Structure 1
Amino acid sequence: MHWTILLKSDPEAKGNPVLHGLRMAASALADEVEISIFLSQEAISLAFQDEHAGAKQKVQQDLIHELQELGARIFVVGLEWLHQTEKSLLNASIEAASMKTLIRQMKMSDQVIPL
């Protein structure tokens, strides 16, 4: 079984949808579900090294690293980030992806969860 989780909310958003998505991914991995996470729109900020990240973002980035260690693949998708920063600033093991990659992943997934 494979799930694609599309995180597009602001990491600082009320209700913590990004954190809930990451926690759901961890639970699914523990239940032997293969996970791919795509960071898009407002959640793109989690893909980059940021010394000034808020407390919520640091917790979320730590959880992303744990998910990667457990086997989740993390992607960042969207053209706007490419023009704003250098690709070399991406956090380790986060892959740059295109919309084509996202669509292909969604097609092969048993579940697609946008947050």
Structure 2
Amino acid sequence: TLLHYLRDEAEREIPVLRMMSLTLDQLKVRAEAWRNELGQGEVVTSESTVGGGSLPDESVSTYILALSVKSPDKFLKRLREANPPVIARTENDRVLLDPRTVLDDNLLVQTLKQVLDDYR
């Protein structure tokens, strides 16, 4: 990790730094791509909680994909039980997915499609 800092490649090579350095435009494009792939949801602004370590209560602006489903808590449980698990949150009866916390967009969309198909 220290070598990444010394070589000025930390943002590219350290996942959490890469996630934190994403621009709002990049996040919006990704959330919109997810919505387009899934054919549902709404892209809205929100806040990501940094959490842990030296930034336990800090937050940063983001765009999220908000999905309206019949039972958000049941849907969230199915996401967590999926392979791979998807960690999301619920708010105002919607399931929220934050692109800032996702490394592989294709894998996320595949998993979401499978859970949505099984959920119907």
The TM-score, its normalising length taken from structure 2, stands at 0.26
